[in-house]
Structure 1
Amino acid sequence: MSGTQQVKPALGETEGDTGNLTQLEFLALNSEFNIADGHARQALTTGQNKIVDDLPLLFAEGEKRPVEELEREAHAAFFNALGQHSYPIAPGRVLSCYSSSVAMEILSRSLAETIESVALIHPTFDNIADLLRGNGLKLLPLDENMLHDGDLDVGLFASTGCVFVTTPNNPTGRVVSKERLTRLAEQCAAHGAILALDTSFRGFDTRAQYDHYEILQASGVRWVVIEDTGKLWPTLDLKVGMLVHSDNLGLPVEQIYSDILLGVSPLILAMVRRFSEDAAAGGLEHLHRFIASNRAMVRSELAELPGVTVPDPESRASVERVGIENLTGTEVWERLREHNVYALPCRSFHWANPSAGDHTLRLALARSTDPLTQSVRALRHALTQR
Structure 2
Amino acid sequence: MRIWHGGDLDEARRLFPQAPEPWIDLSTGINPIAYPVPLLPASLFERLPSPADHRDLEAAAREAYGANDAAMVVAAPGTQVLISLIPHLRSRSRVAILGPTYAEHAYAWRNAGHDVDEVPSPDRLDSANVAVVVNPNNPDGRLLDRETLLRLAEHLRPQGGWLVVDEAFADFDAGECLVPVLPANAVVLRSFGKTYGLAGLRIGFAVAPEPIAARLRSALGPWAVSGPALEAGRKALRDREWLEATRADRTVDARRLDALLSSVSDATLRGTILYRLLESSSAGRLFRALGEHGIWVRRFQYSPHLLRFGLPRDEAEWRRLEAVLTRFSLS
Whether 2:266 is the aligned partner of 1:283: answer no
Distance 1:71 1:250 in 2: 14
Q: TM-score, normalised by structure 2?
A: 0.85
User: Structure 2 matches for 1:371-382, cutoff 5 A?
Assistant: 371-382=317-328
Deviations 1:209-250 (A, max 9, x none): 4xx234224xx4x22222210101133611311233223549
Give the number of equivalent residue pairs: 323
Partner of 1:169: 137
Deviations 1:284-342 (A, max 9, x none): 2222122212112222223344x533342xx4431100121x32x34432332111111
How far 1:207 sits from its partner (Å)? 1.3
Whether 2:69 is the aligned partner of 1:101: answer no
Whether 2:299 is the aligned partner of 1:299: answer no
Aligned partner of 1:241 among 193, 198, 204:
204
Contact 1:78-1:276 at 8 Å conserved across structures: yes
RMSD: 2.9
Contact 2:32-2:311 at 8 Å conserved across structures: no
C-alpha distance 195-365 of structure 1, shift in aligned 2 (>3 A): same
Q: Which amino acid aligns with 2:278?
A: V
C-alpha distance 235-247 of structure 1, shift in aligned 2 (>3 A): closer
Partner of 2:16: none
Distance 2:307 2:181 in 1: 34
Query: Structure 2: 5+ residue runs without aligned partners?
Result: 14-20
Whether 2:301 is the aligned partner of 1:333: answer no
Whether 2:165 is the aligned partner of 1:197: answer yes
Q: Which amino acid aligns with 1:365?
A: L
Distance 2:104 2:238 in 1: 30
Distance 2:284 2:170 in 1: 29
C-alpha distance 373-126 of structure 1, shift in aligned 2 (>3 A): farther
Contact 1:38-1:231 at 8 Å conserved across structures: yes
Contact 1:117-1:161 at 8 Å conserved across structures: yes
Partner of 1:120: 97
Contact 1:301-1:377 at 8 Å conserved across structures: no
Partner of 2:274: 318
Q: Which amino acid aligns with 1:225?
A: V
Partner of 2:308: 362
Distance 2:85 2:219 in 1: 6
Identity of aligned residues (%): 20
Distance 2:167 2:248 in 1: 20
C-alpha distance 321-276 of structure 1, shift in aligned 2 (>3 A): same
Partner of 1:81: 64
Whether 2:117 is the aligned partner of 1:140: answer yes
Q: TM-score, normalised by structure 1?
A: 0.74
Query: Structure 1: 5+ residue runs without aligned partners?
Result: 1-17, 349-353
Partner of 2:53: 70
Whether 2:27 is the aligned partner of 1:36: answer yes
How far 1:100 sits from its partner (Å)? 0.9
C-alpha distance 185-288 of structure 1, shift in aligned 2 (>3 A): same
Whether 2:3 is the aligned partner of 1:20: answer yes
